[in-house]
Structure 1
């Protein structure tokens, strides 16, 4: 890796090559590039990440095959009280910022790394409603769906853990600073299927409304640019975030912005509709790396401080994310009990 390992694209999202992250000098250069990206857009692309291309291809193909099944078959693994799976409606993400919009135009399937814990273990993951307390439910078709998803979650967990160590290095901390905040992490994979829009959207209705992510970091695979991801620049202008062949998009969420006292940016983003008349569908796969549910919210500059005061009494990562989930699905009570 050289000092020119990152290049800034027209979309205000730099691309960072992780190839040399196994060397001390390479990690320092990568950490510096991450720091610059997180102070500006809060988004960056990654290549050289080590996730097998075959796994990503299989994850996309298997999941798309599921979404193309008849509705009656998908409904067999629908979200319902106590389980996490398929949702015909994706909620309204703009509601998490108290912005009233029509429902987002997508279908969703979600699974959690905690979804195979016992009921007693999941009950101990916060004394409030949260999606990571739900059991995973898996479809019988297509063949290999469950095993593929599990492999993807394991691979993205390992990559996320190393990115957090690079985050610590970028912030001038010991690389293991965040380790004890993720040793019981409650992360999830959510696949958004943006189906062909054969009916014109309502005014203000998007594939995903404008929002910030609620957690620590998100690693996103997107299979096409059509009707795709946009971020809002400080000027208020919206810019496309192109897909990266063989790579991922990474963005930080609200928790990282809170931990860094706003030094790093949790940036507003959305998923726009395809051009009128387009019959294109789209698949996006965000892996949400979420810390232990009881990780405190106080800025990391003072790790001995009590959690930052909040008028609603929120003092932990889990409480913060749960509140955002409840806002997202508040207008859809049938799906609220299985919100992600």
Structure 2
């Protein structure tokens, strides 16, 4: 059950750098979760994207399933009997406009949807810019000298979530189980009309995070903790039903570098441990693959077998849902 405790997240002003570096370092190495303002996301585009997100989840089951793909390195539509309130659409690689448009094409049926998909493309492109910007600032805050290094080539996963909370009996139910994100960091556009996002504090208790219009939430992930040799703190979080009202969220996850050539250079405080070995250290049963940049295929296959989630036959909507494991997320199928 959710607690009545609430927490106000640190707020980082992206327009006030480098003055905010010390404050950012404290947030990223302490709580591992913070808000950003002056992030550059156009308010009108954000509202349009929220409306489009809700419309996608109103599509018929057969239309949603068209976005599916058996390749573990792609996104698609996801549902699970284990999480009865949650549906998701994922796009991998969201740093690639080709992948974004391919996802949209699979769902393309009407003129209105084609207009909506232009909104999706524009929003995800802008959000990717925000992700790369904040990742660089987080790295700099823990002592990494960027130089010519950029996170721009690291893959990203975009995810649209819909929590189908309807009745009073749903209040207190878990929408997304407690977890940490498996990537470097994630940026979350929350639903400002309804709460439900909770993080674990230093005492091991979950506390509510009330929505704040005009801001984005940043969560440090597992890769971020490994990459920084433990300085950055990954934050455990979950979603809980607070009202008998549906909830959406829009996430972008910065995953892991696709190969060792994109690891930090030696001599940097944050990444020296990685550079000395030239490889990602083992962490939670996964490591980057030469062609994939995330969880090993064997681990993903194992995770899928453990999940007992099967791909339904055509027209079989109630029979179990689909799981598409994306790079760096095969052990973390759902996130707020």
Q: Distance in 1 between matches of 2:247 and 2:271?
A: 38
Alignment of structure 1 residues 309-320 onto 2, 5 Å = 309-310=281-282, 314-316=286-288, 318-320=293-295
User: Structure 1 residue 186: deviation in Å?
Assistant: 1.8
| 1:339 corresponds to 2:320 | no
Partner residue in 1 for 2:317:
none
Specify every segment of 5 or more residues in structure 1 that has no aligned partner in the other structure, as ranges.
1-8, 21-26, 92-101, 119-131
| 1:36 corresponds to 2:21 | no
Q: Distance in 2 between matches of 1:273 and 1:138?
A: 29
Partner residue in 2 for 1:270:
238
User: Structure 1 residue 169: deviation in Å?
Assistant: 1.8
Instruction: Tell me if the contact between 1:106 and 1:192 (Cα under 8 Å) persists in the aligned partners.
Output: yes
| 1:140 corresponds to 2:129 | no
Q: Distance in 2 between matches of 1:285 and 1:37?
A: 22
| 1:13 corresponds to 2:2 | no
Selected match of 2:303 from 317, 322, 327? 327
Q: Distance in 2 between matches of 1:45 and 1:312?
A: 27
Alignment of structure 1 residues 28-67 onto 2, 5 Å = 28-67=18-57
Query: CA, structure 1 residues 116+164, in 2 after alignment: closer, same or farther (shift >3 Å)?
Result: closer
User: Structure 1 residue 193: deviation in Å?
Assistant: 0.6
| 1:244 corresponds to 2:212 | yes
Q: Distance in 2 between matches of 1:19 and 1:270?
A: 30
Instruction: Single out whichever of 296-305 and 237-246 deviates more from structure 2.
Output: 296-305
SS at match of 1:106: strand
Q: Distance in 2 between matches of 1:190 and 1:226?
A: 19
Selected match of 2:91 from 102, 105, 111? 111
Selected match of 2:121 from 141, 147, 150? 150
Query: CA, structure 1 residues 80+233, in 2 after alignment: closer, same or farther (shift >3 Å)?
Result: same
User: Structure 1 residue 37: deviation in Å?
Assistant: 0.2
Selected match of 2:271 from 272, 292, 300? 300
User: Structure 1 residue 309: deviation in Å?
Assistant: 4.9
| 1:80 corresponds to 2:69 | yes
Query: CA, structure 1 residues 284+165, in 2 after alignment: closer, same or farther (shift >3 Å)?
Result: same
Partner residue in 2 for 1:259:
227
Query: TM-score by structure 1 length?
Result: 0.74
Alignment of structure 1 residues 199-238 onto 2, 5 Å = 206-224=174-192, 226=194, 228-238=196-206
Instruction: Tell me if the contact between 1:168 and 1:177 (Cα under 8 Å) persists in the aligned partners.
Output: no
Query: TM-score by structure 2 length?
Result: 0.75
Q: CA RMSD in A?
A: 3.4
Q: Distance in 1 between matches of 2:295 and 2:215?
A: 30
| 1:194 corresponds to 2:163 | yes
Query: CA, structure 1 residues 147+19, in 2 after alignment: closer, same or farther (shift >3 Å)?
Result: same
Deviation string, structure 1 residues 269-317 (Cα, Å, up to 9, x no partner): 0001235xx2x00110011122432247897133232435539874438
User: Structure 1 residue 200: deviation in Å?
Assistant: 5.2
Query: CA, structure 1 residues 235+314, in 2 after alignment: closer, same or farther (shift >3 Å)?
Result: same
Q: Distance in 1 between matches of 2:7 and 2:97?
A: 39
Instruction: Tell me if the contact between 2:225 and 2:233 (Cα under 8 Å) persists in the aligned partners.
Output: yes
Q: Distance in 1 between matches of 2:296 and 2:132?
A: 19
Q: Distance in 1 between matches of 2:139 and 2:283?
A: 29
Q: Distance in 2 between matches of 1:311 and 1:285?
A: 27
